[in-house]
Amino acid sequence: METGKFLIDEQFLIDTGRNVVTNLVNGTETKLEPRLMKLLCLLASRPRELVSRESIIREIWNDYGGADDALHQAVSFLRKALEDTNKICIRTIPKKGYMLDAEVSQSVNTPPATPVTKERNRIVLLLAITSLILIAAFIGRNIFFPSPDPHPEPPGAVPDTTYQYQELREHLESLKAADTTRR
């Protein structure tokens, strides 16, 4: 089980050459560091059998003193990669070790994409095409059929500020004229 590909529960494709776990249902890939892949391969080489903590630490961490914490973190990460939130796939046997409680099978070729993945790809493609059509229609409408100004000025009209200025000027002139006639 050290090199090549194998399946766990017909859902996860383990590619030891690339250190990748692929969920065949949703297509997500999780990259593993080499020690994590080595641990997963060790557990998968003995499915449904207890693998003692001591043998894991000896084989993976070469009897390193702080390997207990590293092993705990490694198992936690593998559970996330295998979406094992209920701790059913990788079981902890208290004070003894761990067990991969799953079906492990050899995989010569990558299985074809599942119908869920194909359907999801179709939906994504359809949404992308629909979005592009809507964007093109919106841009085309604004270019070829611009919306009319809701408050158009009549032909020959003077903008408001100029008109107000002229009106004010005429008013001041009429006040001056009235003032000069009173004197």
| pLDDT tens per residue across span 106-157 | 865 555 555 556 677 788 888 999 999 999 888 888 787 777 766 666 676 6
Are the C-beta atoms of 155 and 64 separated by less than 8 Å? no
Tell me whether residue 163 is exposed, middle or buried, using C-beta atoms within 10 angstroms of its C-beta: 0 to 12, 13 to 18, 19 or more.
Answer: exposed
The model's confidence at residue 1, banded by pLDDT at 50, 70 and 90, is: very low
Quickly count helices (H) and strands (E) in the chain: 5, 8
93 by DSSP, 3-state: which?
A: strand
**Span 24-43, mean pLDDT?**
91
Q: Which value, in Å, is the radius of gyration of the alpha carbons in the chain?
A: 37
Tell me whether residue 81 is exposed, middle or buried, using C-beta atoms within 10 angstroms of its C-beta: 0 to 12, 13 to 18, 19 or more.
Answer: buried
Q: Please give the structure tokens belonging to residue 43.
A: 């557990």
